[in-house]
Chains A and B, each alone.
Chain A
């Protein structure tokens, strides 16, 4: 083989790439707040997990973020629900942080239209999935009227779980009291 002069270039490039790999991929593995769930966080139930799968399949993440940042634009959400922390996402796979807000942030939807509001919230969510423009004429959300009733139930379960755990009493505390 002649002229293997690209070799030093490749070594230098590998080094530069390796540096970034170490910093951005290996580093976070050891960050303590990522490796532990937030205090009251609960794992998804099977139906919630199924709903999450529908959320992924239908690409909800492209229009809805799931993160509240400590910035002016998110002030109302910060006041109501607090800033999102790394541990809040412990059970999320794949992550659904989102990059765009064509629609509202959903990280606390389980408090906005939560189980606590009873059938009313559930009926609203399912009706809204089927035809968003029945509730808001300006909405540009696709109508998910092609989902089966069961899928709509699962999706609703998932959406109602988002952030809901923040307001439930800590299970370990509840155990300690009883």
Chain B
């Protein structure tokens, strides 16, 4: 199989290297280690997750104690907010779940990744680019629209890098040895293919006035729906059956869920401007599509619910699986909540309130973070065969759970109160006093979340750096050893 010097040098390093010989294979021997690309992506995602959470806590404190870090332009609330969000989207969620995608694609296709080298290089380029973009926002170069704040040239670079990533994954899928496409691969295809279109549209094209707003939300919602949600669901569809050691409840239902999601999600953007100054049909189309999102949501709910039925034993034993369940429940709750928020009357009351913030965080932390963490633990124990500290993982799980519940309940309830106050004629200034306690509760929940994630990082670090079968970890190893006694 070794016909060129490049593949000769790499085949020694990657044992499973039986890929087709691509005409221009991109390979630097030092980077051609199996799973090197996915590790770079995944752990970069974990790093950014902690950064995003830290900035989130700083902002949360500023919302009840505005003097905190006051007077430093780069740390003003209005500059930290886009940094928090962009790191959350392009750092934590994108990178973490791309790590999962780089893990899943070679395994589901039974084919070595087209290029580990390209994967590693794009990951580092993505990291550098995001760092540059974020610093530019802090220095005051924000483009100013939500989720497209990264200024030129950093925004362009994200698009170009995504094309290289998509090319890498897509090439692997195209030359795959396993003819069947598992549902995770459908979701990955949906994630990687349309991204450059709506990303360029949102970031590079210039529109005027309201058209700008409509395109902004078309882009933003596709970013959540077609990029983050699909990558997240792909990961859950992959790890849950493996964690349970049993097949998915129904492939027909996942088929239904996938195609309805693909049909309705791209229409959702307009629901951010319900009651706004947009043409009526933009609103009606988006409201209809948002409510139609109940179909894929319920399909996913039934499918995972059916798979998870009667697995309490695994839940007790396997923390990774417990995080999957947290992610699953949060996904269903976020989606049902999202559909509800698009109902015109409810939107009239809750738009502009803290409910939106609660909703977003349930999606990003409840679904996004928990799903990613489930994958991290899954990867450590299943793929690397490493035993992480069970005690630290328990702490991580409970701090995360309490944090997310505290966050969503405090902000969700505050949003409802704000909506009621405003509907009865009170002004924004009139609810400032009401907000204080809830904002403190939010910062506290965020603090717990942050501590939980720091514990995760510590746990990963100790697990990866300590030699295997270390006697200190004997108990831990036992507690996470897998598949023993899985109900069959």
Residues of A that sit less than 8 Å from B by CB: 1-6, 9-10, 12-14, 16-17, 19-21, 23-25, 27-29, 31, 33-34, 56-63, 65, 67, 69-76, 83-105, 132-133, 136, 138-146
Contacts and interface: CB of A to CB of B under 8 A. Distances in A.
B186 A28 contact: no
B423 A73 contact: yes
B66 A140 contact: yes
Contacts of A59: 76-79, 81-82, 142, 144
B181 A88 contact: no
Contact of A89 (B174, B185, B209, B275): B209
A99 B62 CA distance: 19
A57 B142 contact: yes
Interface string B339-369: 0000000001101111011000000000000
Nearest to A71: B348
Contact of B208 (A4, A90, A143): A90
7 contacts: A6-B189, A24-B266, A67-B277, A88-B209, A95-B216, A138-B436, A146-B72
B256 to A, nearest CB: 14
A25 B205 CA distance: 11
A177 B207 CA distance: 36
The 7 closest A-B pairs by CB, nearest first: A59-B78, A20-B266, A89-B209, A56-B144, A71-B348, A73-B422, A69-B275
Contacts of A4: 174
A92 B278 contact: no
Nearest to A137: B432
B82 to A, nearest CB: 6
A86 B278 contact: yes
B396 interface: no
A164 B226 CA distance: 40
B146 to A, nearest CB: 7
A3 B176 contact: yes
B273 interface: yes
B265 to A, nearest CB: 8
Dominant secondary structure at the B interface: helix
Given A73-B419, A84-B276, A65 B214 contact: no
Contacts of A13: 189-190, 193-194, 262
Given A56-B142, A89-B210, 6 more contacts: A21-B197, A23-B282, A28-B279, A34-B209, A62-B78, A69-B348
A56 B194 CA distance: 29
A72 B423 contact: yes
Contacts of A143: 66, 70-71
Nearest to B422: A73
The size class of the interface chain B forms with chain A is 35 or more
A67 to B, nearest CB: 5
Contact of B73 (A6, A65, A70, A146): A146
Most buried by B among A23, A73, A96: A73
Given A89-B209, A99-B356, A34 B275 contact: no
B218 interface: yes
A142 B77 contact: yes
A12 B262 CA distance: 9
Interface in B126-150: 140-146
A31 B193 CA distance: 29
A17 B266 contact: yes
Given A146-B71, A146-B73, A93 B209 contact: yes
B428 A73 contact: no
B460 interface: no
B144 A25 contact: no
B267 interface: yes
B66 A27 contact: no
A84 B289 CA distance: 25
A56 B357 CA distance: 21
Interface string B255-273: 0000100110011011011
Most buried by A among B66, B425, B433: B66
Given A59-B79, A89-B210, A103 B357 contact: no
Nearest to B207: A93
Interface in B49-89: 62-64, 66, 70-73, 76-79, 81-82
